[in-house]
């Protein structure tokens, strides 16, 4: 249960009881998942779709019609979330094969950052055990679809990957001799983002705050768990979500993209400073 937010702009213009963070790319109306039609960039509301169809030529190639109807029927599906779960599971299968190099090539070990910089991201697709994988994928299954539908696919994947990078940067800063793997940093980023968005909508944050707190504390108490990655992920995820929440208008798209790129660039800069000036 959540309290009704005071800002009506956070509700679908056709369904006032449904919260949404997605705007029509043509008119700027807030639209829920049932009112969205996927476009080449972003989504369109029903009115803009009708207007576009009315002004378009009457005869269209059959393939265009088929693609449009297929896209519309699949608009509500959290494709990125299911893809991340599938890719991560596949990587784990490859990882446990005999003599597989996947683990060695993808695990993040801070002293090798300059030699293998890609591991700061690839580590979030690796896991140390089946339980580790199941726990993280279950968390992604819970938070992923909600955030993907609220933010849109591009914003969601950016949030996930940058949060994972934030977890790796935190490990580099706070535990530079520890090798890490797992999606926990990215998952905590989703939790941090959910907290910020829920707060922006005026909802009750007690439950998500409790979940974040318990998971952070468990990282300190359970051996082998990287609390550093958790902390970095939740901070970066909250920062990215804050940018999304503050730049929702259609005319703020450039500002939003620049701010998210700025967060990514800041993480890269912190990494370089740590490697070249502190070492």
Q: Hey, where are the domains in the chain?
A: 8-73, 79-278
Q: In Å, what is the CA distance from 163 to each residue of 3, 25, 73, 153, 191?
A: 28, 26, 30, 15, 10
Neighbours of 128 (CB within 10 A): 15
Closest CA to 243 of 233, 232, 231, 254: 254
Q: What's the confidence (pLDDT) of residue 14?
A: 86
Is residue 230 part of the annotated active site? The answer reads: yes
Cα(109)–Cα(196) distance, integer angstroms: 31
Q: What local confidence, expressed as pLDDT, does residue 134 receive?
A: 93
Catalytic residue among 44, 127, 132, 230: 230
Q: What pLDDT shows up at residue 59?
A: 39
Whether residue 123 contacts residue 182, with contact meaning beta carbons closer than 8 Å, is answered with yes
Contacts of 105 (CB under 8 A, 6+ apart): 116, 119, 122
Is the Cα dihedral 272, 274, 275, 279 positive or negative?
Answer: positive
pLDDT for 64 equals 29
Q: Classify domain 79-278 at the CATH superfamily level.
A: Rhomboid-like (1.20.1540.10)
Q: What is the pLDDT of residue 63?
A: 27
Is 218 considered catalytic here? Answer: no
- Output the pTM of the full model: 0.72
Per-residue confidence in pLDDT tens, the chain, 279 aa? 333 344 556 788 888 888 787 888 778 788 888 888 876 556 788 888 887 776 644 433 332 222 233 333 345 789 999 999 999 999 999 999 999 999 999 999 999 999 999 999 999 999 999 999 998 999 999 899 999 998 999 999 999 999 999 999 999 999 999 999 999 999 999 999 988 888 876 656 666 666 666 666 665 555 567 889 999 999 999 999 999 999 988 888 899 999 999 999 999 999 999 998 865
Among candidate residues 20, 163, 184, 226, the one labeled active-site is 184
Residue 98: is it exposed, middle or buried by C-beta count within 10 angstroms (0-12/13-18/19+)? exposed
Q: How far apart, in whole angstroms, are the C-alpha atoms of residue 187 and residue 134? A: 12
């Amino acid at each position: 249960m959540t309290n009704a937010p005071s800002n009506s702009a956070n509700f679908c213009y056709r369904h006032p009881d449904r919260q949404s963070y997605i705007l029509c790319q043509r008119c700027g109306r807030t639209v829920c998942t049932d009112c969205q039609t996927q476009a080449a960039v972003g989504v369109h509301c029903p009115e803009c779709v009708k207007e576009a169809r009315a002004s378009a030529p009457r005869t269209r190639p059959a393939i265009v019609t088929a693609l449009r109807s297929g896209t519309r029927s699949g608009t509500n599906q959290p494709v990125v979330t299911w893809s991340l779960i599938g890719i991560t599971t596949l990587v784990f299968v490859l990882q446990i094969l005999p003599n597989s190099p996947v683990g060695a090539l993808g695990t993040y070990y801070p002293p090798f950052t300059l030699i293998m910089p890609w591991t700061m991201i690839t580590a979030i697709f690796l896991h140390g055990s089946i339980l580790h994988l199941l726990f993280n994928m279950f968390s992604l299954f819970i938070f992923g679809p909600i955030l993907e539908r609220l933010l849109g696919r591009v914003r969601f994947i950016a949030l996930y990957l940058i949060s994972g990078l934030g977890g790796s940067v935190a490990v580099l800063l706070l535990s530079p001799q520890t090798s890490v793997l797992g999606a926990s940093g990215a998952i905590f980023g989703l939790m941090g983002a959910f907290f910020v968005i829920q707060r922006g909508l005026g909802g009750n944050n007690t439950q998500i705050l409790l979940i974040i707190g318990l998971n952070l504390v468990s990282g300190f108490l359970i051996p082998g768990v990287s609390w550093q990655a958790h902390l970095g992920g939740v901070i970066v995820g909250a920062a990215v979500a804050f940018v999304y929440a503050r730049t929702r208008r259609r005319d703020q798209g450039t500002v939003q993209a620049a701010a998210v790129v700025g967060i990514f660039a800041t993480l890269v800069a912190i990494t370089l400073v740590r490697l070249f000036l502190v070492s």
